[in-house]
Chain A
Amino acid sequence: MWEYTDKVKEHFINPRNVGEVESPDGVGEVGSMACGDALKLSFKLDENQRIKEAKFQTFGCASAIASSSALTEMLIGKTIAEAEKITNEDIADYLGGLPKEKMHCSVLGRDALEKAIYCYRGQGEKEIDGRIVCECFGVTDKEIERAVKENSLKTIEDVTHYVKAGGGCEKCHDDIQQIIDAVYNTVPEVVEAKKTLTNIQKIRLIEETLEREIKPALQKDGGNIELIDVDGDLVKVQLIGTCATCKASQLTLKNYVEARLQEMVSPDLIVEEVK
């Protein structure tokens, strides 16, 4: 049995905004019955160009239904420009997280939203972008690359959890690995570029890396981390929760937090704990 959060369960049992909006301003349909999940999202704007109504129809498991329901709730009241910024992680976070095998449900929501906005702008059906890599689930190289970049995916299994690619006959596993490798081979270039970061850019990137990656990892073990200050290349942090009392916390700090920040932000960073 899946470990769903109470919020996922609640949205599944009492889904919000089921159905289709009458004379919608945007409609997005993604997925298929063969794939195991599908979502049709429609929305309507009010006179102030804010989303007044958003509805969904979903074929899928509990987390697909909950993700769709959450998405409609998140959309209502937003402008298109605001709605556009919603990522799959946002949908998962709104629900208090999803089991990693179910992250593709949140991606489904994001994809439907993107299509609906596309439709709203009169750009018609979004064309298939890129080359189909996974034939079982019809996933393109561009989609895989995007998921890898946006969610820092590292393995073929991760990719399968997020966009389903590779979850069928497994013949495309080599292709997927190549895409992952290609994404991370560009990392040195990115680091080069980051060397010229302004102080503000550097701090933002540190914060972003902490939020996106490091905090969730520590939280899994009941700990957490807070950014206190950045002084040149010195990153001052405070460890919270189980991390604060853990004997291995210095190891965590150096081997994980510092290593990760060096990789993602700048190789010169030094992480120090302030008590």
Chain B
Amino acid sequence: MDIVYMDNNATTKVDPVVLDAMMPYFTEFYGNASSMHSFGGAVGREIAAARDKVAALINAEPGEIIFTSCGTESDSTAIYAAIRSNPNKKHIITSRVEHPAVKNLYEYLAKTGYRVTWVPVDKDGVLDMDFFRRHLSDDTALVSIMWANNESGVIFPIAEIADALKDKGIVFHSDAVQAVGKVPVDVKAVGLDMLSLSGHKLHGPKGVGALYVRKGAKFSPFMIGGHQERGRRGGTENVASIVGLGRASELVKGHLEEMNTRVRALRDRLEEGLLKNTPNALLNGAKDLRLPNTTNISFEYVEGEAILLMMDQFGICASSGSACTSGSLEPSHVLRAMGVPFTAAHGSIRFSLSTYNTEKEVDFVVEKLPPIIERLRHMSPFWKGAGCQLQ
């Protein structure tokens, strides 16, 4: 059975070109970049080349890029660096719809003496900027707002937030794991202090990420150890993966236009097809303010896990904000923050496309999903059609 992979906000396929670039660094050029011999030194030059490529993707200086093990490490590093460099300030502002990678750390910090302000979003998932501005204070150490939301795909006004923070001495960090590679991200134009990105979300390997730290921003390392990454992140470099992240950065930079034209058109075709062919289906998230690859649709009266497993029969891969898929009992905090009623949140499905997807795949999903929804609805005690079948 062919896999129709539309879960690219969860993770992506490593591009074969990326894998090819990585392979020599396992058995051939396995030297340690810190070594004195030229065998190791050559590896150091490859790491430098990868750094150039990652920097180019977000318009940073190579010296502003720190390689990490994942998006979560980048986030933790940024957040701890920010609060350590402002030890007397005890207030953090973030959004109510952050990824658990930062959300859970803020919840932890909230228990250890920090005051955390969670900026709400409206029903379209758009950030409440007035609320944000009202809560800035002299005690604010850090503002940390994601660039784009992983579930709704809604893009946040990062430049506007950066403007509001100008000359206030508040560190601004953004978790841009979902945005980088999908929409243009220009750290210089925006003017933020730190930004997290992850390899496996942009057709690079898992287990590698990067943190942008603006030149001149105060920093202290999270992983303390050797002098690697100029003392900003201890630990022998994950050379193959760093090379992979570099190559992937180069590739997605070249694919940005395709992402925002062809993939966007595919996403729209999928969305329109599903909304048109399924009654009681609702779009979650501001239509025009989203990542070009993401659509999140609620199918009322049915439950997301059941939908996913039925789609699995056809090899279709997507995600759900339903409670059952997460192991918790409540549906996604993002959908709840958007005020999506529980009844619709339980039946939400997120499709996230990539440049690998085709029109044929989109049409396949538009053909297969509506009958699945219909079938599950006829099993559901809430569906108006149900119960009348026998009479």
Contact = CB atoms under 8 A, between A and B. Distances in A.
A27 to B, nearest CB: 11
A61 B305 contact: yes
Contact of B379 (A18, A22, A160, A168): A18
Contacts of B328: 167
Interface residues of B, number: 32
B330 A59 contact: no
Contact of A34 (B342, B386, B390): B342
Interface stretch (B118-126, B164-172, B265-273, B319-327): B319-327
A36 B386 contact: no
Interface in A1-46: 2, 9, 12-13, 15, 18-20, 22, 29, 33-34, 36-40
Contacts of A20: 386-387, 390
Interface in A89-117: 101-102
User: Among A12, A33, A56, which residue has the most Cβ atoms of chain B within 10 A?
Assistant: A33
A58 B380 contact: yes
Given A20-B387, A22-B390, A33-B343, A61 B322 contact: yes
A271 to B, nearest CB: 36
B382 A59 contact: yes
Contacts of B330: 136, 167-168
A57 to B, nearest CB: 4
Contacts of B305: 2, 61-62
Interface string B375-388: 00011111000110
B381 to A, nearest CB: 4
A59 B323 CA distance: 13
A13 B380 CA distance: 15
A164 B327 CA distance: 11
A20 B343 CA distance: 22
Interface string B352-391: 0000000000000000000000000011111000110111
B313 interface: yes
B306 A164 contact: no
Interface string B197-240: 00000000000000000000000000000000000000000000
Interface string B291-325: 00000000001111110011001000000001111
Contacts of A270: none
A33 B330 CA distance: 12
Given A20-B387, A61-B322, A36 B303 contact: yes
B329 A40 contact: no
Contacts of A36: 303, 322-324, 329, 331, 342, 346
User: Among A22, A61, A64, A164, which residue has the most Cβ atoms of chain B within 10 A?
Assistant: A61
Contact of B303 (A61, A102, A136, A167): A61
A59 B380 CA distance: 5
A77 interface: no
User: Among B309, B389, B391, which residue has the most Cβ atoms of chain A within 10 A?
Assistant: B309
**Binding site secondary structure of chain B:** loop
B381 A19 contact: no
Contacts of B380: 57-59
Interface residues of A, number: 34
A34 B303 contact: no
A106 to B, nearest CB: 14
B387 A33 contact: no
A156 interface: no
A65 B306 contact: yes
Contacts of A102: 324
A101 B329 CA distance: 9
A13 B323 CA distance: 20
B390 A59 contact: no
B389 A19 contact: yes
Contacts of A58: 379-381
Contact of B381 (A9, A59, A61): A59
B324 A57 contact: no
A101 B343 contact: no
A168 B381 CA distance: 24
Interface in B238-275: none
Given A12-B309, A58-B381, A22 B391 contact: yes
B382 A101 contact: no
Contacts of A59: 301-303, 379-382
Given A19-B390, A20-B387, A59-B381, A37 B309 contact: no
A207 B306 CA distance: 38
A137 B331 CA distance: 13
A32 B171 CA distance: 45
A61 B329 CA distance: 12
Contacts of B379: 15, 18, 56-59, 65
A59 B304 CA distance: 10
A139 B274 CA distance: 37
A60 interface: yes
B329 A29 contact: no
Contacts of A62: 305-306, 309
B20 to A, nearest CB: 30
Nearest to A4: B309
A15 B304 CA distance: 17
Contacts of A61: 303-306, 322, 324-325
A273 B387 CA distance: 57
A57 B329 contact: no
A9 B342 CA distance: 26
5 contacts: A20-B386, A38-B382, A58-B379, A61-B322, A65-B306
Given A33-B301, A57-B386, A62-B306, 6 more contacts: A12-B306, A33-B342, A36-B329, A40-B381, A57-B379, A64-B303
Closest 3 CB pairs of A and B: A167-B329, A61-B324, A61-B305
